[in-house]
Structure formats: C-alpha cells, structure tokens
Structure 1
Amino acid sequence: MTLQNVLVIGNGGREFAIAKKLKQSPKVDHVYCAPGNVGMPTVGVEPVAIEELDFAGLIKFAQEHQVAWTFVGPEDALVAGIVDEFQTAGLKIFGPNARAAQLEGSKEYALSFMNKYGVPTAKHLAFENEAEALTHVADFGFPVVLKLDGLAGGKGVVIASDQADAEATIKEMFADHTGRLVIEECLVGPEYSMFVLIENGDYQILPMAQDHKRAYDGDKGPNTGGMGAYSPLPQLSEFDRQRMVEEVVEPSVKGLVDGEYDYHGILYIGLMLTEDGPKVIEYNVRLGDPETQVILPRLATDLFDLVDACVNDQPLPEVVEKEDAVLGVVVASKGYPQKPVKNQALGKFPVAGNITVDYANVAGSLADLHGAGGRLLMVIATASDLKQAQQDVYAYLDQLEEPECFWRQDIGEKAFK
C-alpha cells in the first residue's frame, strides 16, 4: 500500500486536531498544514509557510508534494472559493464550493435555505439600515438575538436583554460594519453541535459535542469562538437525537441535493432543543473549534478513510464512536475576546498520561512559547467517563501559573445536571 500525503489548510486548534488525527492513520505518510502553527511538530505535522488565502501558492504546493487531497479547516477560505480554485486545477479537496459556503458566509442566505427546505429555525428578519432595524426590534420580544450577516469569527452575535440594550447594539453594529443585520427571536433550551459529513446525498454523523461560547463561568460575559467542549452528551436522549436527525439533518441534506449544491464536506449544525423540538441556530460549513478537538479523539473510524471516500465519490464508511469521554478547556489570553493580551510567555505544557495539548494561537518556539492573542491552546483529557475527564483537565490546569491567561472552571457541568 502506498502511503498518502495530505494537506490541511488553517492554523488553529481545529486544524491541529484534524492534522493530528490524519497523522494517526496507517494510510498516511506526510501531513502538511498551511500555515499551521509552531505546536504542530509535537504531533508529527509539518507546518508550511503559505497563508490560507494564497490559493495559487497552496495549489502549487499540493501539486509539487503529490498531495492526495486537501482538507480545508477555516470558513474564510471556503467562502472565498478555495474549493472551486483547487477543482479547476484538477486537485481533490474536502469542503463545500463557494456557492454552498454561503450557508455560513451569509446568515440571511442560510435562513432562506432553511425556510425553503422546511428546516426548523427561529423567526427572523434581515435589515439593511439602522432605522428599519430599530423600528422592528421590539416585534421579536426580549431578549432578542442580533447577528451580523457575514462572517464574524464566532463573535458577531449579541443577545440583547431589553430595548435599550438592543438599540445600543444595533447602532454599534451598523457603525462598525457594512452589510445587513439579522434579528431573530431568542430560542430557549440547551445547545448542541452536530457534525454531518456529506457526500452529496450520502451522509454520516460524527460524534456530537457541546460547546461553551460565553467567556466566563456560568455562561456569563461576551460571546467567544468557544471556551471548551466535551463529548459524548449523556444528557441528550436517543429520542431527542433521533428527532434532530429526522427533523433537521435529513431535510438539510435533501435541500442540498434538491438545490444542486454538490456538497462534499462538513455541515456543522448548531442546534437548540426547544420545547417545540430541535431548531437550527446556525449552519457552519466546516468543523467547529473547539468541538473538533473533542470529537475527533472519539472517532474510531479512520478519518482518512471518511474523507478519501467523500472526495472520490465512494460509499462513505460507517462512523463508529469510541466509548471514551473527552473534555477540553481552552486557555485564552487575559482580556479575550475584547482586548486580548499578546506575547506573554507561556512556558511548557507537558503531555502526560491521558492529557494532550492542542496548540492554536501561539508563537515563538516550543522551547520559548508565547501567546499570539485570543484562544491560545486547549488542554484535553480522555477518560472512561466525563466526570473523570473533567477532573483530570482541571487537575492539570491547577498546576499551571499563567497570570496573563484565563480559562473557564465549569466546562462540562451541563452534562451532570
């Protein structure tokens, strides 16, 4: 058997986890990651100094290094059309094309898709000017959800508690950004992340996770890109999971087929389990960060086999999940997400026993590691149950001295209520 070379696009914790998982496949030789980060050599992955939006440079690299296929991590590259460019060059690539990537690139586009194909979601309207938005915001009741229409790195969503809060937020959003604003009713219920690997009409569901978006304990503070995650979800019944598949996943996949999207990649469905059943909060067209770091260690099926089948239009292997529980906590720069400290010395993060470290926004070298702002890395424990995984992560974090960093102390608590 000839071992394959693969390329991962991106530089964060998600791409670290994807590249690490691919490197573990017995069918893979080299895993390259462009641009990658300084932590990736700890798991045998080679960073490549090409930016994720330098499509010509990435195509040239893939051709010169006999890359079997490329796995796209971040949404920016997908929305900008990296898949179309690679396919035009005759290269295989895992991810949706630019048209399909609008499901993440535009909240309004995604909501229109859901309405068209009968996917349950919140009541909503989109506005292109401040005056209209201010006139109609009270129609949705309070609290109310305000979303920038375009890509915002997981931070373009505000839940306004009352009229004054909503008005101030709307004015700020229109002052800082061009484009439209989506106003939605505020759904109530637990949130879950579902990741569907789609090959046109064929699909497999990866392990599910729960993300923690707010910056501080008890879901307080501003929205972030995610402060921690865990998998599996003991509080989610098989009945409710099946409802999610039948009422959300199946009409979403059917819509992609009926709309001729030729979808080959991940559809990440952010769900809320309301009193009226599951409803979609958002679509993303790639794996989530930080959920990827906890779901991929639970995947018993070879990730290489899944992606290889998808890009080659072969039948998808069945997804098999490990019994293990995995919980991860993000170490973030002090001040994140508004004004994160940068360039703080981080010291070393030894990997021991069931603890692993997925590096993200770090700089320098492993011998002299510094923060590069935002979410720096994730400490992850794999154990026989979630409680043990949680205890092991926090025991590790308690030994660290990181005065210019912070992390939440309650990741996973919702699993035990």
Structure 2
Amino acid sequence: MAVDPLDPAAVVALAKAQGVDFVIVGPEAPLAAGVSDALRAAGILTFGPSQAAAMLEASKGFTKEVCDAAGAPTAAWARFDNAAEAHAHIAREGAPIVIKADGLAAGKGVTVAMTVPEASAAIDALFADAGAEVVIEEFMDGEEASYFVLFDGTTALAVGSAQDHKRAFDGDTGPNTGGMGAYSPAPVFTPAIERQVMDEIIRPTMAEMTRRGTPFQGVLFAGLMIKDGKARLVEYNVRFGDPECQALMMRLGPQALDLILACAEGRLDQVQVAWADDHALSVVLASRGYPGDYVKGSVIDGLSALPNDPDHKLFHAGTAFGADGQIVAAGGRVLAATARGSSLQVAQIAAYHMAEAIDWPEGFFRTDIGWRAL
C-alpha cells in the first residue's frame, strides 16, 4: 500500500489499517508536515515532536529566536527575505560568514563562505527560489560535535555524542553534504562540556518551548561548536541525524527501543542509558557526483559476503532492486558501513574493511572518517 509520508491523514489511515499501536516518525519532513500531531489525535502512541515543536529544525530563524529568548549561546545572526538587503549585510560584515536556507534542506542548505564572492553566490542561489528566506550567521570556529537528548515534555535524558564529517572529500574538503561518516562517542565532548550544554542550551531551550505552549517530545539533536572548553549551538535537528544515528544505534543496541518507548509514554524519569565502554564508526558510500548530480541505477555487488552481526552492520539508505533482482543505487548517499569496537581505531578498521569489500565502481567514500580523534 503506497502512502505519501507527508500526508498526515494517509499515514493515520495506514496505521489503523495495519493495526499499528506505536509509530516512530524518523525524518524531519513528516514532522514538519504534522504527521505526529495527526497520529496522536487518532489515539496512536507516537515518538516525535509536534509540528509546532518541529519548527526547531524547520526554521533556522525560529530556532535563533528561541535561543535568544532562552539565553542559549549561539552565533550572532540576521534573517532576510530580500536579496539586496542580504548582500548589503554581507558587504558590511565580510567573510568568513555562514549562509543558511531558513527551512528544511536535507542537511545541505548551508554554505560556510570563506570569501565575500562565495557568500554572494550562495545568497543568489538561495534567492533563486520564490519566497525564499535566508539566515546569515557569524562564522564560528572550533570543533563540531553532535549531542542527542530524549525529552518527554518533562524529563531530559542524554543518549550520546557523535562527530560527523560534512564535507564530501578527505581532509574536510569539497562541498557540504548530508554527512559522509560519523563516530561515537566524541572525545571532544567532555563531561564538563556536557554539563554546560545541558545547563545553558538544552534545558533552557526546552523550558522556552514549554513556555510558548509547544512542549517538545522526541529526540533533540544539538549540533555544537566547541572552542576553549565551551560549546555554542550551531543548529537543532528534531530527529536522529544520519549518519550519526548509525554509530549511535550500534552502541545503544536493543535498549534504543526501550528508551524511545519510555519517551513516548512520558516516563523517561524511570529509565537510564546502559553504556558499554565501546566505540562505533560509520562510513557512508555515496554515488559519484554527490552532493551534485549523480546517476541512479548502478549495480552494487559484494554485499552478501559482508559480516552481519551485532558488531557489523550495513545500513541501506538509497538502494533499490533492479530489474534482475540485483541491488542498485537509487540515491546520493547510498550505504553506511558501520562497525563497533573496543576502541575507535578497532571500529574504524572494521568499518573500512566492509566499505572496501563492496564492489561498486560508481560509488565513492571518504578514507579518513575519524581522523580528528585518531
């Protein structure tokens, strides 16, 4: 039964027809479309924020307003719906500077412009779409990390840290992508920084959302910039981000469902995370040309010989069955070879053994995932 995941009524009808009693809404677009609201209104237990609370990801400007009201440390910013005014702002501020689409962009609507001409080109590209709005931010330097917190409207429960690799190519070069690989935990995310993030960013944000009458329930993914022992917020996502999610889930294991269910039922105060002293690393295999134009339909071989056990998983993101039953590429980021190990180096070696064993000439992957920590 084919259903549009952005059609709340259709998703509710499918859930009822199949006797579904618990729904986890994963991607950001259905959350922004109000799917979780419709499911809850139909009496179906749901994990994921309301449409109003999902604005923390759906609008960069909204997030900045919430952070300002909450006193959460973040970059200085301005929002524009006029290209000429945005260009004037760039001319005043100079570069480096950050240009963001004020809306959902699948992790790719951000340009970190190191020069004014690069910033101007990004503004022109975003305003090519009618009705566009753009957020321009102060450039923050430091080391990026991702932090994941479950929130049930009352209780916050941290579920781990990770570090992503946004640039397409080795050495953090090339265009921004949705993420080319990640590892967990993030060594830069010390206990002291975790306390600061919870006290100065996460809890004040959640309190401000409740004050506005839009309490948050689900997973809050904080993208952070860390420098000199302090963190500032880069942005929020209202979902488990990809590829951080793969590394995080490898470490959480089966307890992930228990934690998510407790969050949906409003009883996070009754559970805790049981961490092993382990590490996980995920390597994304993407179609050549990504994040630009790429060709779909190329055959991927060698998958059946890969290990598939609690310490090794190949996650499919953009694959399909070809006409003869073979696995073919059907997207930009296609696969994620993910491994868990007693150390980050052990996990890295195992993940790359998997990635290198895949026979896919039309694909590529970075060879340096985990380089900051190792």
Shared fold, TM over 0.5: yes
Q: CA deviation at 1:74?
A: 0.6
- 1:103 aligned residue (52, 56, 62): 56
- 2:259 aligned residue (295, 299, 306): 306
State the TM-score, normalizing by the size of structure 2: 0.94
Residue number in structure 1 paired with 2:198: 245
- 2:356 aligned residue (389, 394, 398): 398
Residue number in structure 2 paired with 1:356: 313
Per-residue deviation, residues 138-182 of structure 1 (Å, max 9, x unmatched) = 333311100011111111000111122212221222113532111
CA contact (8 A) 1:157 1:223 kept: yes
Structure 1: state its 5+ residue gaps: 1-47
Map residues 224-243 of structure 1 onto 2, 5 A cutoff: 224-243=177-196
CA contact (8 A) 2:11 2:35 kept: no
Per-residue deviation, residues 253-273 of structure 1 (Å, max 9, x unmatched) = 222222221221111111001
SS at match of 2:100: strand
Alignment of 1:202 onto 2:155: yes
- 1:137 aligned residue (74, 84, 90): 90
CA contact (8 A) 1:209 1:232 kept: yes
Q: CA deviation at 1:92?
A: 1.6
Alignment of 1:75 onto 2:32: no
Residue number in structure 2 paired with 1:335: 289
Residue number in structure 2 paired with 1:293: 246
In 1, Cα distance between the equivalents of 2:229 and 2:358? 44
SS at match of 1:267: strand
1:203 maps to a residue whose letter is A
In 2, Cα distance between the equivalents of 1:314 and 1:174? 44
State the TM-score, normalizing by the size of structure 1: 0.84
CA contact (8 A) 1:192 1:211 kept: yes
1:324 maps to a residue whose letter is D
2:194 maps to a residue whose letter is R
CA contact (8 A) 2:222 2:235 kept: yes
1:165 maps to a residue whose letter is E
SS at match of 1:98: coil
**Runs of 4+ with deviation above 6 angstroms:** none
In 1, Cα distance between the equivalents of 2:262 and 2:112? 40
CA contact (8 A) 1:301 1:321 kept: no
In 1, Cα distance between the equivalents of 2:354 and 2:253? 26
CA contact (8 A) 1:207 1:298 kept: no
Residue number in structure 2 paired with 1:23: none
- 1:113 aligned residue (66, 75, 92): 66
Q: CA deviation at 1:403?
A: 1.4
SS at match of 1:67: coil
Residue number in structure 2 paired with 1:192: 145
Per-residue deviation, residues 232-257 of structure 1 (Å, max 9, x unmatched) = 12343222222222221221222222
Structure 1 residues 330 and 274, CA gap change in structure 2 (3 angstroms) = same
Size of the aligned set, in residue pairs, is 369
Map residues 270-285 of structure 1 onto 2, 5 A cutoff: 270-275=223-228, 277-285=230-238
Per-residue deviation, residues 31-79 of structure 1 (Å, max 9, x unmatched) = xxxxxxxxxxxxxxxxx64331233232122223332210001110000
CA contact (8 A) 2:149 2:159 kept: yes
1:345 maps to a residue whose letter is V
In 2, Cα distance between the equivalents of 1:177 and 1:296? 39
SS at match of 1:176: coil
In 2, Cα distance between the equivalents of 1:84 and 1:139? 43
- 1:318 aligned residue (272, 276, 294): 272
In 2, Cα distance between the equivalents of 1:405 and 1:358? 15
Percent identity over the alignment is 39
Q: CA RMSD in A?
A: 1.8
In 1, Cα distance between the equivalents of 2:186 and 2:125? 37
Q: CA deviation at 1:91?
A: 1.6
